[in-house]
Amino acid sequence: MSTEQNNTELTFAETGFAEPILKAVLEQGYTKPTPIQAQAMPHVMQGRDVMGAAQTGTGKTAAFVLPILQNILPMASNSASPARHPIRALVLTPTRELADQVADNAFKYAKYTDIRTAVVFGGVDMSAQTTLLRSGVELLIATPGRLLDHITQKTANLSQVQILILDEADRMLDMGFLPDLQRIISLIPAQRQTLLFSATFSPEIKKLAQSYLCDPVTIEVARQNAAADTVRQVIHMVPSERKKDAVVKVLNSRIQQGLSRQAIVFTNSRIGCSKLASALERSGIKAGAIHGDKSQIERMQILESFKNGSMDVLVATDVAARGLDVGGLTHVIHMNIPDELPFYTHRSGRTGRAGEKGVSIALVTNRDAYKIRNIVPPIVTGK
């Protein structure tokens, strides 16, 4: 196993991407690869297995999607025959939101190629997914449960997969997907390239890598459990009963300063999430709640309203904390502090993405101040 640390100065053109991929990358306005991209892309393009640890918002999606496209490009075909479009690369993600987001990026990066991309996840009707899969797809992004449904129905066949990507593998294990992963991997040829991305390299992740990766290159661009360096951590000491007012005050003060009031507010419970969204609406702030009790369609509609700017505040439980990418989001508010620090870090990582500056504001009571004592260096205000 080797470890890569440098190599951050390559341009996309120097990395050797084919013209249609380069064109799509430039269209996104990316000027140079982020560190995880510069380090991972050459190895992925050479067909090596890679185990990557990267902070949220580091550009890790493009770090694996772009070289995968490059690797399967020679087999792309404009034939109408489904047989000419077998699944060649499979990305597995823990959540529907992440699957949707990876697919969003993949569609953009693949748009000038003949590579067909599709995404399948649960909570929505299967028939549209079935039609897509039947017509043939080279790059498939999926959550494990729904993929297994398609496999059972024989609408997905993994016998020609050459590249497997486990995205947010730590989260997949946390969510109990190991048996599903084992079943899926048993259906993929052993002769393949495997990439594993994870926020941390826990012992469980290392075990997973030992079982399924072959002599991987290890790439770490993140300090474990550290919030992105571009995120300023602010802590407001606020008693519980004044938290809702504190959220309104933060949002209003941003408007007074002529700044965007778009924010994600994280809560620990589903009930708290819905209640806060309703309270904000009553205060004249356009807000929507996403949590596990909402249907997938509702979640997608609310996310879309937030992303297109017609909604100011997204109130969310940790369902939305991972993988969610809203361009230009400048701040995140923690209504409560989660019991586990990695959740706090992932929530904060929704801002300060791709090198932009962000602020993470935690509303902390005296009782839960101890939970974030290791977040340094915070700016503490109020009483």
Q: Is 117 in the site for ligand AMP (CB under 6 A)?
A: no
- Under DSSP, is residue 21 helix (H, G, I), strand (E, B) or coil? helix
Q: How far is the CB of 93 from ligand AMP (least distance, A)?
A: 11
39 binds ligand AMP (CB under 6 A): no
Member of 20, 35, 57, 136 binding ligand AMP (CB under 6 A): 57
CB of 121 closer than 8 Å to CB of 210? no
- Least distance from ligand AMP to the Cβ atom of residue 355, Å: 7
- E-strand ranges in the chain read 2-4, 50-53, 89-92, 117-120, 139-142, 163-166, 193-198, 217-220, 231-237, 263-266, 287-290, 313-316, 331-334, 358-364, 379-381
15 binds ligand AMP (CB under 6 A): no
Q: Which two tokens stand for residue 236?
A: 């407001």
Beta bridge partners of 315: 265, 289
| Choices 57-65, 232-240, 299-307, 371-379; region in contact with ligand AMP by CB under 6 A | 57-65
Site mask for ligand AMP (CB under 6 A), range 309-338, x = bound = ----------------x-x-----------
Q: Report which of 318, 322, 40 is spatially closest to residue 165, judged by C-alpha positions.
A: 40
Q: Does 88 bind ligand AMP (CB under 6 A)?
A: no
Bond before 377 cis per omega within 30 degrees: yes
Which two three-digit tokens encode residue 123?
A: 């909570």
Contact range with ligand AMP by CB under 6 A, out of 33-41, 196-204, 247-255, 291-299: 33-41
Q: How far apart are CA 356 and CA 328, in angstroms?
A: 7
Residue 377 lies near ligand AMP (rule: CB under 6 A): no
Query: And the tokens for 175?
Result: 């969510």
Stretch that binds ligand AMP, among 55-63, 77-85, 177-185, 359-367 (CB under 6 A): 55-63
User: Would you say 64 and 44 are in contact if contact means Cβ atoms under 8 Å apart?
Assistant: yes
Q: Is 107 in the site for ligand AMP (CB under 6 A)?
A: no
CA dihedral (305, 310, 312, 317) in degrees, to 10, reads -10
Q: Which is nearer to ligand AMP, 17 or 250 (CB)?
A: 17
Does 30 help bind ligand AMP (rule: CB under 6 A)? yes
Residues 58-77: x/- map of binding to ligand AMP (CB under 6 A)?
A: xxxxx---------------
Single out the residue of 45, 248, 279, 354 in contact with ligand AMP (rule: CB under 6 A).
354
Which residues of the chain form contacts with ligand AMP (CB under 6 A)?
30, 33-34, 37, 57-62, 325, 327, 353-354
